[in-house]
Chains A and B, each alone.
Chain A
Amino acid sequence: GAVVSQHPSRVICKSGTSVKIECRSLDFQATTMFWYRQFPKKSLMLMATSNEGSKATYEQGVEKDKFLINHASLTLSTLTVTSAHPEDSSFYICSARVLQENQPQHFGDGTRLSIL
């Protein structure tokens, strides 16, 4: 159980393009989803917390107009990187958690984004 699906797994696109990443909880209802970014050999950096039906909470330093998050249902959250630039190239990972806050987060497989 507790499977999280993330698509696409890899994206290569030109600078200025907008990229949408989907995160789905396949066998449970995820009231809360999280979006992380990870640079090579670095730890996870939380970008935002997404609760179903409400606006996402962004971490300090993360531009909400650049990283648009939509959590429209209990099983789907999307992250759109708008007008992507080479510095946005990174490994983006989503995770999902059930209602109980002390339950573990289950991660998707991640999306490797490369902006040329």
Chain B
Amino acid sequence: GQNIDQPTEMTATEGAIVQINCTYQTSGFNGLFWYQQHAGEAPTFLSYNVLDGLEEKGRFSSFLSRSKGYSYLLLKELQMKDSASYLCAVMDSNYQLIWGAGTKLIIKP
């Protein structure tokens, strides 16, 4: 079966760095997406990785290792507004998005 695993919840301190991991087992791979979802709102697109390596976009970076079925989202210089759920989603061989359950990130002052 297809499976996406990410931690349910994480806590970090304002100004710090946090890494949210995602491991996946899917039938084929056509890329991995990270989305941010604030409570009561729709998801917003953060990043897309299809090749191995690190993609940096401002305070956010996303890493992919296809051989390990592993990705992480790295958030630097955390701000209170970064408190949200972070969703990992993998596109399988049929270009269907398989969604993880999301990681709720709590930022403390």
What residues make up the interface of A, taking CB atoms closer than 8 Å to B? 2, 6, 42-44, 46, 91, 93, 101-102, 104-110, 112
Contacts and interface: CB of A to CB of B under 8 A. Distances in A.
Secondary structure call for the A interface: loop
A107 B97 contact: no
Interface stretch (B39-47, B59-67, B72-80): B39-47
Contacts of A108: 42
B87 A44 contact: yes
B48 interface: yes
A106 B33 CA distance: 12
B31 A43 contact: no
B91 interface: yes
A106 B99 contact: no
Which residue among A91, A104, A109 has the maximum number of chain B CB atoms within 10 Å of its CB?
A: A104
Contacts of B50: 102
Contacts of A107: 42-45
Given A43-B101, A43-B102, A44-B99, A102 B91 contact: yes
26 contacts: A42-B101, A43-B87, A43-B99, A43-B100, A43-B101, A44-B43, A46-B99, A91-B40, A93-B42, A93-B43, A101-B30, A101-B91, A101-B95, A102-B30, A102-B48, A102-B50, A104-B45, A105-B45, A107-B42, A107-B43, A107-B44, A107-B45, A108-B42, A110-B41, A110-B42, A112-B40
Interface in B7-65: 30-31, 33, 40-45, 48, 50
B73 to A, nearest CB: 15
